[in-house]
C-alpha cells in the first residue's frame, strides 16, 4: 500500500495504491486527516487500489462527515473496489466515479 498526497490552494488529492487493509489504513489515517482538514475539496483517487477494508470506509466517512457532500469525491474506482462500496451501502452516499 502506498499513499501520495498532492495539495494546492483549491483541493487535495490523495492517491492510494495497493491493498488498503486495516493495518495499512491505521498507519495513514492521521496523515490523511491532517492533509484534508482545511481543503476546499478532497479527492481520493483509487485507480491503483486492489482492495479496501472497512477501516478505509471509516476514513472516508469521517472525511465526508466534516464537509459538504459536493466537496468530497472518490474517483477512478476500479470495478472490484466499487463492488465493496456497493455491498457496504456507501456507493450512493459518497460521490463515487468509477474508471
Supply the CATH number for residue 32's domain.
3.30.750.24
Q: Rounded CA gap, 11 and 78, in Å?
A: 22
24 grid coordinates = 495499512
- Are the C-beta atoms of residues 98 and 82 closer than 8 Å to each other? yes
Structurally, the chain folds into a number of domains equal to 1
pLDDT band at 93 (very low <50, low <70, confident <90, very high): confident
pLDDT band at 70 (very low <50, low <70, confident <90, very high): confident
Strands (E), the chain: 2-7, 11-20, 41-52, 72-77, 95-98
- Tell me how far apart the alpha carbons of residues 95 and 1 are, in angstroms, rounded to a whole number: 23
User: pLDDT, tens digit, for every residue of 2-60?
Assistant: 999 999 988 999 999 999 999 999 999 999 999 999 899 999 999 999 999 999 999 99
- C-alpha cell belonging to residue 21: 487493509
Structural domain for 20, as ranges: 2-98
> What is the pTM for the complete model shown?
0.92
Amino acid at each position: 500500500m502506498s499513499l501520495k498526497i498532492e495539495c494546492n490552494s483549491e483541493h487535495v488529492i490523495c492517491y492510494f495504491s495497493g491493498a488498503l487493509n486495516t493495518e495499512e489504513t491505521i498507519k495513514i489515517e492521521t496523515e490523511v486527516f491532517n492533509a484534508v482538514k482545511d481543503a476546499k475539496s478532497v479527492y481520493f483517487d483509487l485507480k491503483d487500489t486492489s482492495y479496501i477494508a472497512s477501516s478505509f470506509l471509516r476514513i472516508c466517512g469521517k472525511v465526508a462527515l466534516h464537509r459538504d457532500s459536493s466537496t468530497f469525491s472518490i474517483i477512478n474506482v476500479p470495478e472490484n473496489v466499487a463492488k465493496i462500496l456497493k455491498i457496504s451501502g456507501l456507493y450512493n452516499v459518497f460521490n463515487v466515479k468509477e474508471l
